[in-house]
Chains A and B, each alone.
Chain A
Amino acid sequence: MKTLQWFMTVCEYLGGSRDELPGAPGGQAGKHAGTTSQSMPWWLGLWWGLLLGAILLFCGQTSKFIYIDF
């Protein structure tokens, strides 16, 4: 369960809903754990690139959001 919770926290961090990078599943602090550093980790640029690539690849099929004026 701890691993699941850790995984969820990592997803939240990668999704931008959590400011702090979580530590390792067993409680051991990661390199950036517990920091809300103003500097941008190098891999975040990579992550943005991946997201942008996926967005560009799939944006042709977009449709209306369900919750707008349903």
Chain B
Amino acid sequence: MIFNTLAYFALFLLPAAILFRRVRPTVQPWICLAFGAGFFIFFSLTQVGGKAGAICLLIFIWESIFSRFYKQGSILCIIGIIQTLLFLIVFKYWNFLTGLLFKSTGHNPLAWSGAFLPLGISFFTFEFIHYAVDRYRGKTPAGRFSEYLAFILFFPTMVAGPIKRYQDFLPKLVNPSREWRLDWRQGITRILSGLAKKFVVADLLTAFTNHLNRADIAQAQRWVLPIWLFAYGMKIYFDFSAYSDIAIGSARLFGIKVPENFDWPYLRTNIAEFWKHWHMSLYRWLVDYVFIPLGGSRVNPSRVYLNILITMFLSGLWHGAGLNFIVWGLWHGTLLVIHRLWTAWREGSLMQFSKTSPTLGLWPLVATVSGDGVQTIPAILYSGTIRQSPSAPVTPAENSPRSTHESVTVGEISEPAEETVGASAPRKNRPPSLGGKLVSWALTFIMVNLGWAFFCMDLPTSLFFLRRLFFG
């Protein structure tokens, strides 16, 4: 709940945002951290974890104190990362991992019967790790103690993101926007539209998605199954983007712009583009703190494919302690690998083709990695390739401060621009045909939605669902 409760608005958001605007700049971080602490305790007591959950506020305080000792190249940064991961493993994966360990015996003697998840642990873990890594690399300032606490306890983004970066957040905290009329107008519009998306669309779709259980799947007619699955795909989009809208709108009331999370992902025409526009703050985090440290795409191709699979495996595991989430991550990893293989293959085959066909000599220029307009059957079927035209409007993500650094992608998984794709000469884009675009879009949409089967049901149920869907 949280964002769709009156308590959130009446007790936290409005008082905090108004006070934040009223007090002196030196006091502003303290407003953030005081309300953030109150928010964590209140919603832990009323919704998640109870008293034990509320005590987990000490994790924030401990992490903040410990982070004061982070320095460039210091081992303390590495210890900080390890302890952060340990918190996550203990709270989120204890029963899952020990369950796997004792699976053969059928009884888990190490099971934690009172297990609970501290509010937002899956998300604040990312921010702790980001800070430790970037301090280690010397890429972020230390900031004051109060500023760091305000960063990690900034309640609009505490529970489910968008995942912030300290170096982006700090200047906005120290010098928030003074255009309070515009900020409040836009912030309120964003919050209202988020609430409407949640209540009117996402919650309404529950009528369909509630049927995604073994008993209903067994009894349902086959043609109903894809409708339920697509309904889930829509529900999760509207639900999570609504949440992000409310979080971003809430932050805007403070005069602080936080990163965007969605940019029309379901309109994308290949899986790499989908991931560039779905849960964008997570995607960028995975690229910066998992994919690139693994070697990114600067290593040999087979290793790149492995890096993609590892990254998406971890993404799946992070989404939930269950085998179904791991399969979901690997499903997307596999799609991204196929996309990359296809892109490379098509580039190569076109180069070859153009050598033997003088009339098509310009094709290598036209058939870019974004490969638009290549009208072979496989190209139409898989335009892992079609990108927006140069005249396309700048998206919020591209507009963000990090965009200069993260221009590329995870099927090409994103990396600093200089290291990627364009080993060859600059290429020209040819506008894709509408038919090609539609087929590419439909294929991407179907593949992404098939993946949701693993996300929304446990593994045996999702396999049963797919078996019924394809074989009756």
Q: Which A residues are within 8 Å of any B CB, using their own CB?
A: 5, 8-9, 14-19, 36, 38-40, 44, 47-48, 51-52, 54-55, 57-59, 61-70
- Cα distance A70–B319 when bound, in Å? 7
A61 contacts B182, C-beta separation under 8 Å: no
A14 contacts B185, C-beta separation under 8 Å: no
- Cα distance A57–B200 when bound, in Å? 8
Q: Which B residues are within 8 Å of any A CB, using their own CB?
A: 1-4, 48, 117, 119-122, 159-161, 179, 181-182, 185-193, 195-196, 198-200, 203-204, 206, 235-236, 239-240, 242-243, 245, 248-249, 252, 260, 264, 267, 319-320, 392-393, 396
Nearest-neighbor residue (CB-CB) of A15 within chain B: B193
B249 contacts A51, C-beta separation under 8 Å: no
* Chain B residues with CB below 8 A from A55, complex form: 192, 195-196, 199-200
* Chain A residues with CB below 8 A from B242, complex form: 65
B189 contacts A54, C-beta separation under 8 Å: no
A59 contacts B240, C-beta separation under 8 Å: no
Q: Is the interface of A mostly helix, strand, loop or mixed?
A: loop
Task: With both chains docked as a complex, state the minimum distance between the C-beta of A68 and any C-beta of chain B, in angstroms.
Answer: 6
* Chain A residues with CB below 8 A from B121, complex form: 69
Partner of B392, one of A5, A52, A57: A5
- Cα distance A39–B198 when bound, in Å? 28
Nearest-neighbor residue (CB-CB) of A18 within chain B: B396
- Cα distance A38–B185 when bound, in Å? 8
A14 contacts B4, C-beta separation under 8 Å: no
A-B CB contact pairs (8 Å), 7 listed: A8-B267, A16-B190, A44-B189, A54-B199, A55-B200, A65-B242, A69-B117
Answer whether A59 and B190 are a contact pair too, CB < 8 Å, given A65-B2, A65-B239.
no
Task: With both chains docked as a complex, state the minimum distance between the C-beta of A28 and any C-beta of chain B, in angstroms.
Answer: 16
A14 contacts B193, C-beta separation under 8 Å: yes
A17 contacts B396, C-beta separation under 8 Å: yes
A16 contacts B186, C-beta separation under 8 Å: yes
Task: With both chains docked as a complex, state the minimum distance between the C-beta of A50 and any C-beta of chain B, in angstroms.
Answer: 9
B48 contacts A65, C-beta separation under 8 Å: no
A65 contacts B187, C-beta separation under 8 Å: no
B319 contacts A54, C-beta separation under 8 Å: no
- Contacts beyond the supplied A59-B199, A68-B2: 10 A-B pairs with Cβ under 8 Å: A16-B252, A36-B179, A40-B181, A55-B192, A55-B196, A57-B200, A58-B204, A66-B239, A69-B120, A70-B319
Task: With both chains docked as a complex, state the minimum distance between the C-beta of A19 and any C-beta of chain B, in angstroms.
Answer: 6
- Cα distance A69–B48 when bound, in Å? 9
A52 contacts B236, C-beta separation under 8 Å: no
- Cα distance A58–B267 when bound, in Å? 27
Answer whether A47 and B122 are a contact pair too, CB < 8 Å, given A38-B182, A65-B2.
no
Partner of A65, one of B3, B206, B249, B319: B3
Nearest-neighbor residue (CB-CB) of A8 within chain B: B264
Residue from B159, B187, B193, B252 having most chain A Cβ neighbours under 10 A: B193
A19 contacts B182, C-beta separation under 8 Å: yes
* Chain A residues with CB below 8 A from B182, complex form: 19, 36, 38
A61 contacts B204, C-beta separation under 8 Å: yes
Task: With both chains docked as a complex, state the minimum distance between the C-beta of B252 and any C-beta of chain A, in angstroms.
Answer: 8
- Cα distance A33–B199 when bound, in Å? 31
Residue from B189, B235, B392 having most chain A Cβ neighbours under 10 A: B189
Task: With both chains docked as a complex, state the minimum distance between the C-beta of A32 and any C-beta of chain B, in angstroms.
Answer: 13
- Cα distance A68–B392 when bound, in Å? 34
Nearest-neighbor residue (CB-CB) of B244 within chain A: A67
Task: With both chains docked as a complex, state the minimum distance between the C-beta of A9 and any C-beta of chain B, in angstroms.
Answer: 7
- Cα distance A16–B245 when bound, in Å? 9
B119 contacts A69, C-beta separation under 8 Å: yes
* Chain B residues with CB below 8 A from A44, complex form: 185, 189
